């Protein structure tokens, strides 16, 4: 089915429900019926069509955003430079073997290699730095750069209401957006003091396994998730599962988001902009994004003189954005991220030590065991 046919197959009722699901990711059929004023039976039929996996792809999926601070984990990104297929394969093998890997994709730009994301125990950035230094010393990679920020990420997302179904494009222009007035003072949110010390008292491996199931697909029924957990060695009654799930939703989940399919809605082109600039100019960019979010998936991080912006966007008018950044940033780095061939990982419950009530974080686990697997 072509993209045009795929999109034009959406009638007004289906489009309305898709919009409501974006606004209310966890809404029940009853709630969607009340909001949309459609009969519940009609809502059920519409949702089932929109999320039907046989469509290849479904029109949407619900994504769980974990609360890393409460989990005692830290988000760390690494840009890895490789010169040969051998080095690229070594880096890919590292990503497949590391216990705290979250995401990896090939990248092309100022350097060619891999863009890697980790979720590692707080305070262990130096261990990842040591790991990549050892990789470099052995000739397995050419170079690398760790990217870490102390302020909270700003997330933006596309809204179906901004999609033009006549032109099959987004109603957005970078030049117009860059001219919008912005508030003078909007203070960045620093990463909160984590509450892992309290959470670790009750956290168990089965909770991490349940969280992984929520990350896999939050809209599944409890009984379905219980069956998946049983295969993984966790035999939970519905009552125990519900009690654990309540705490997980309260303390370990930060948000839920409705993601519309990127290729269908012309959001498949993924880029990364990274560089350094004037503190006040970057503050203006941050304030503009907060007050006037762009209609694309993006993650923005700004710390004083440093900016990191990862976007899934349409190519239309992209040159306007790059033209704006070129004089603004020094050491401007621009990358194409090969997201269609990327890989995302779920949290591994075996990385949590139940006896010590902490994530496994010794050198052997974080570094040496991984290197041994790469040597074999």
User: φ, ψ for residue 22 (rounded to 5)?
Assistant: -65, -40
Q: Which pLDDT tens digit goes with each residue over 224-261? A: 999 999 999 999 999 999 999 999 999 999 999 888 87
- What is the C-alpha to C-alpha distance for residues 44 and 30, in angstroms, rounded to an integer? 9
Pairing label, strands 73-81, 306-313:
unpaired
pLDDT, the chain, mean: 90
The answer to whether 238 and 222 are in contact (CB under 8 A) is: yes
- Residues 278, 282, 283: CA angle, nearest 5 degrees: 115
- What is the C-alpha to C-alpha distance for residues 324 and 319, in angstroms, rounded to an integer? 8
Residue 3 is predicted with a pLDDT of: 53
- What is the C-alpha to C-alpha distance for residues 262 and 57, in angstroms, rounded to an integer? 10
Domain residue ranges of the chain, discontinuous segments joined by +: 3-58, 68-150+341-375
Give the sign of the dihedral formed by CA 147, CA 148, CA 151, CA 154.
positive
Q: Do domains 3-58 and 68-150+341-375 have the same CATH topology?
A: no
Q: Could you say which architecture CATH assigns to the domain 3-58?
A: Orthogonal Bundle (1.10)
How many other CB atoms are found less than 10 A from the CB of residue 50? 18
- Is it the case that residue 2 has pLDDT exceeding 90? no
Residue 12 is predicted with a pLDDT of: 82
H runs (alpha helix) in 183-237: 196-199, 205-216, 222-231
- Render 46-80 in DSSP notation, one character per residue: HHHHHT-GGGSS-SEEEEEEE-HHHHTEEEEEEEE
Q: Which pLDDT tens digit goes with each residue over 109-140? A: 988 999 999 999 999 999 999 999 999 999 99
- What is the C-alpha to C-alpha distance for residues 347 and 101, in angstroms, rounded to an integer? 8
Residue 144 is predicted with a pLDDT of: 97
Predicted TM-score of the model (pTM):
0.89
- Is the domain 68-150+341-375 a CATH 1.25.40.10 member? no
């Amino acid at each position: 089915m072509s993209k045009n046919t795929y999109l034009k197959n959406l009638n007004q009722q289906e489009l309305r429900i898709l919009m409501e699901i974006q606004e209310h990711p966890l809404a029940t059929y009853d709630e969607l019926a009340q909001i949309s004023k459609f009969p519940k039976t009609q809502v059920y039929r519409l949702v089932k069509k929109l999320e039907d996996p046989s469509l290849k792809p479904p029109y949407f999926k619900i994504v769980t955003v974990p609360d890393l601070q409460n989990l005692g984990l830290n988000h760390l990104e690494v840009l890895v430079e490789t010169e040969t297929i051998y080095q690229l394969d070594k880096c890919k093998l590292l990503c497949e073997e590391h216990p705290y890997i979250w995401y990896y994709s090939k990248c092309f730009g100022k350097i060619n290699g891999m863009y890697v994301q980790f979720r590692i125990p707080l305070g262990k950035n130096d261990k990842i730095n040591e790991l990549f230094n050892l990789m470099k010393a052995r000739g397995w990679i050419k170079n690398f750069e760790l990217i870490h920020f102390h302020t909270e990420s700003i997330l933006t997302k596309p809204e179906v209401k901004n999609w033009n179904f006549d032109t099959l494009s987004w109603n957005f222009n970078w030049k117009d957006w860059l001219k919008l007035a912005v508030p003078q003072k909007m203070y960045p949110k620093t990463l909160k003091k984590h509450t892992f010390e309290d959470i670790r008292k009750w956290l168990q491996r089965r909770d991490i396994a349940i969280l992984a199931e929520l990350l896999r697909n939050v809209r599944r029924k409890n009984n379905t998730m219980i069956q998946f957990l049983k295969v993984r060695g966790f035999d939970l009654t519905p009552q125990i599962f519900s009690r654990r799930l309540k705490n997980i939703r309260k303390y370990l989940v930060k948000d839920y988001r409705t993601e519309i399919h990127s290729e269908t809605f012309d959001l498949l082109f993924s880029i990364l902009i990274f560089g350094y600039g004037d503190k006040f100019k970057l503050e203006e960019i941050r304030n503009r994004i907060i007050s006037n979010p762009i209609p694309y998936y993006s993650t923005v991080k700004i710390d004083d003189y440093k900016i990191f912006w990862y976007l899934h966007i349409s190519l239309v008018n992209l040159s306007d954005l790059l033209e704006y950044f070129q004089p603004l940033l020094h050491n401007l780095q621009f990358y194409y991220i090969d997201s269609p061939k990327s890989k995302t990982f779920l949290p591994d419950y075996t990385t949590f030590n139940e006896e010590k009530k902490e994530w496994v974080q010794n050198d052997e686990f974080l570094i040496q065991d991984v290197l041994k697997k790469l040597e074999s």
